[in-house]
Amino acid sequence: MPAHITVLFPFLDGDEVDEDALGEFLAHFTPFDFVLDRVERWEEGIVWLHPEPSEPFVELTLAVWRRWPQRPPYGGIHDSVIPHLTVSETPIEVDVRLPIASRVDEIALMEEDAEGRWSFRATFRLSGV
C-alpha cells in the first residue's frame, strides 16, 4: 500500500462500487493543501504523521460515510475520525524532515485481492463543482 491518508475504510465490496456515482460525488469537493507537521504515536505503538489542517480530511470522510452509511469509518470501532498517514504499525524511531507539504486534488480507490495485495482501481479528481 502506498503512503496515504484514508478517506473511508472499509469501503464497499468491489462489485458494489459504482465508479461513475463515486466520481460524481467526489468531484464536488474542492482540492486542498496540507502539511504533515508532526510525528504521533498511538498507545499500541502505531507511528503516524499528522496532517494540518486535518478538518478537510474529516469532512471528506464524514461526507462519504453519509453517502454510504452502511460503511462507518474503521468499521465503527472508533468514536472519532483522526486523519493520519501511518508510518509503522510497530514502535520505531522516526527521523523525517517535517513539514512535508502536499495537495489533495484526487482520491484513489484502492482494492485488496484475495492474497491481501492492494492495487489502484480508479482515481477521482476533486474539482469543487
- pLDDT value for 98: 98
Range of the domain at 60: 14-125
User: Most distant CA pair in the chain: distance in Å?
Assistant: 42
| C-alpha cell, 50 | 499528522
Asked, for residue 85, whether it belongs to a domain, the answer is: yes
Residue 9 lies in a domain: no
Q: Which residues of the chain have pLDDT under 50?
A: none
In the chain, the number of structural domains is 1
Round to whole Å and give the CA distance between 129 and 76: 30
At 116, which CATH number? 3.90.1140.10
Identify the pLDDT of residue 129. Answer: 80
**Interstrand relation of 32-41 and 118-125 (parallel, antiparallel or unpaired):** unpaired
Is residue 66 situated within a structural domain? yes
Q: What is the pLDDT of residue 25?
A: 97
Round to whole Å and give the CA distance between 98 and 69.
Answer: 36
pLDDT, residue 92, reads 94
* The pTM of the whole model exceeds 0.75: yes
In a domain, 33, yes or no: yes
Radius of gyration of the chain (CA): 15
- What does the pLDDT read at residue 1? 86
* pLDDT for 118: 94
Q: Is residue 97 part of a domain?
A: yes
